[in-house]
Amino acid sequence: MQKGMLLKKRLLAGKDFIPQIVAWLLFFLLLNFLAGKYYMVISGDVYPSIHLVMEFVIVIVAICASLMSWYDYKYKHELRMLILSLTFCVVALVEFAHAVSYAGMPDFITPSSPNKASTYWIIARLLLSTGLLVAVFSKNKVKIIRKSDLILALFALLSLGLIVAVALYLPHLPAMYDTSTANQTSVKIALEYAVMIMLGLAAVRLLLKKELNRQDFHLFLALIIGIMSDATFTLYDSVYDTYNLLGHIYLVASFVFIFKALTEEAVGMLYEAISTLKSQREMLAETNRQLQETDRIKDEFLANTSHELRSPLTAVIAFTELLMDESSGELNDLQRDYVHEINDSGRELLGMINGFLDLSKIAAGKTFLYREHFKIDELIEDIFLRMRHLFNNKGITLEVARNKNQLPVWADRGKTGQVLTNLLSNALKFTTTGGKVVVESNSGDSGRDVIITVRDTGIGIDIRDQEKIFQPFYQVDGTSTRNYGGMGIGLNLAKKLVELHGGTIRVSSQQNAGSIFTFTLPTEETGDLRD
């Protein structure tokens, strides 16, 4: 609705058309009066060149009109635009044949002559008037033709065939110009009137529309000027006289107004498209703003909730540790198992909450890296000693491929440990009893980074999921009955922390053949101590 109103405002101006049409008609009548008053026959050395220029202008405009109509049809699938495209394609070719067959021009297939040029002329006029009449009466009917490109090519080939046939069989066709009297024949004049009738019918059909827009106005002027052109051509006595020249001038003007009508259509479509795109851009910007606001509120909620949960949970863990110390009394075996279970579950939950907090800080841009030089192998060894019992409890072998070179890195030690812990926890979760997990470090090819690898013999990851696993909260098995727990934040947090260091993280895996997680850390100082 809004798009239609925009186009209406852009093109509608019907109340101003009648004065403009009357002014144009008076102007053309004045030209006809002057052509008769100052009648002359132009030199045969000059007129062919003038005629050739005018005809080539007509041919170029016809080609442009055909292409514009064609792309308009491709966009809106209106039958009238297809008809106009085919019409101007044919007319452009026949008008070219008329231009190069005119008296005084070199031979074109067969010798050039006034009769040959007049025959091509009247054929072009009949085709144009018929096409315009059909296009005007077809209104805005939508017709989708699948292989429409073939139709345009077919019409172009038929036009070329028609041009060749007219040249070869010209002696057998009704004469349009009588060389003995040096004047046009009655058949040609009658056909000119037939053209005027068809153009007149098309003009009347336009006037009967409820609303005229600027496109209709220019098309109406083109039809009226076309009628004036054909009327003027019925008056000439010589192919070089002022009436013939004026008729061609009218025809050029008619084609210019047709082109302007199609340009108005294109401008209207462009205006619609720009207005629609502008509206869509504003809607997308507003939607994006709302999504960002929703995301901000979500992050704030997670951060606040995590803070609120962490305090009582820390107290629960502290009390369980007091109970396990047995300073307040000895526990029996069952009680000791319960307290250990509470402590382990509490620590697991605290780790998840800390993960939420870290993600919230990164999203808010409040995460700082406190870089220092340290040996990555020392950190790997520390984490190995801290997590080894978890792997032993599950019957999984955890190994460290120790590097004798003790590779240095320039990173935040705590956050690097967090990345390694998350990757090892992920390997522990998805590796079955009897499996193996290996951690190793190597120097990068450039020597400017260190490559840390965590390799497991677990269930592996489908290639379709390998890019998704680093997304927040993504679970390979997202159902409520999945076999593996977790919140889907460990790998996402690891990725963000690695990227904060300027490194990269990737995975290589096959289902039932284990996974290899690799990330890089810089060895040289980049930036100051607080990035």
pLDDT band at 11 (very low <50, low <70, confident <90, very high): very low
Residues 159 and 254 in one domain: yes
H/E segment holding residue 187: helix 186-207
Comparing 113 with 481, which gets the higher pLDDT? 113
Residues 279 and 291 in one domain: no
Residue 267 pLDDT > 70? no
The answer to the question of residue 78 being in a domain is yes
Residue 40 pLDDT > 70? no
CATH number, domain at 250? 1.20.1070
The predicted model gives 436-453 an average pLDDT of 86
The answer to the question of residue 511 being in a domain is yes
The answer to the question of residue 170 being in a domain is yes
**Best mean pLDDT range from 181-185, 283-287, 291-295:** 283-287
Q: 0.75 cut: is pTM over it?
A: no
Contact 519, 501 (CB under 8 A): no
User: Alpha carbon of 105 to those of 97, 101, 151: distances in Å?
Assistant: 11, 6, 32
CATH number, domain at 382? 3.30.565.10
Give the pLDDT confidence of 212-253 residue by residue, as tens digits.
667 777 778 888 888 888 777 777 766 667 777 777 787 888
The predicted model gives 153-173 an average pLDDT of 87
Comparing 261 with 488, which gets the higher pLDDT? 261
Owning domain of residue 323:
287-363
The answer to the question of residue 528 being in a domain is no
Res 268: pLDDT: 60
Q: Calculate what percentage of the chain has a pLDDT beyond 70.
A: 78
Residues 266 and 380 in one domain: no
Domain boundary among 266, 283, 300: 283
For 208-241, where are the alpha helices, taking DSSP H only?
A: 214-233
Residues 136 and 251 in one domain: yes
pLDDT band at 480 (very low <50, low <70, confident <90, very high): very low
Residues 130 and 276 in one domain: yes
Give the pLDDT confidence of 359-375 residue by residue, as tens digits.
667 766 667 788 888 98
Please state the domain count of the chain: 3
Residues 228 and 93 in one domain: yes
Q: Report the phi/psi class of residue 407: left, alpha or beta, with left for phi > 0 and alpha for psi in -120 to 50.
A: beta
The answer to the question of residue 531 being in a domain is no
Residue 103 pLDDT > 70? no
Residues 267 and 295 in one domain: no
Res 8: pLDDT: 44
Residues 6 and 144 in one domain: yes
Residues 179 and 267 in one domain: yes
The answer to the question of residue 529 being in a domain is no
Read off the DSSP letter of residue 106: P
Instruction: Report residue 462 CA to chain centroid gap.
Output: 31
Give the span between the Cα atoms of 100 and 116, in whole angstroms. 10
Read off the amino acid at residue 72.
D
Res 479: pLDDT: 41
The predicted model gives 333-339 an average pLDDT of 76
Res 346: pLDDT: 74
Do strands 408-412 and 371-375 pair parallel, antiparallel, or not at all (unpaired)? antiparallel
pLDDT band at 6 (very low <50, low <70, confident <90, very high): very low
Domain boundary among 283, 312, 347: 283
Comparing 201 with 488, which gets the higher pLDDT? 201
Residue 284 pLDDT > 60? yes
Count other C-beta atoms under 10 Å from residue 159's C-beta.
Answer: 21
Residue 70 pLDDT > 70? yes
Give the span between the Cα atoms of 516 and 508, in whole angstroms. 5
The answer to the question of residue 509 being in a domain is yes
The answer to the question of residue 495 being in a domain is yes
Give the span between the Cα atoms of 408 and 196, in whole angstroms. 92
Residues 238 and 326 in one domain: no
Give the pLDDT confidence of 250-261 residue by residue, as tens digits.
788 888 887 777
Residues 177 and 221 in one domain: yes
- Among all chains, which residue has been given the structure tokens 């450039």? 446
Domain boundary among 283, 315, 346: 283
Residues 301 and 275 in one domain: no
Q: Report the phi/psi class of residue 109: left, alpha or beta, with left for phi > 0 and alpha for psi in -120 to 50.
A: left
> What does the CA dihedral 249, 255, 258, 260 come to, rounded to 10 degrees?
-80
Res 240: pLDDT: 66
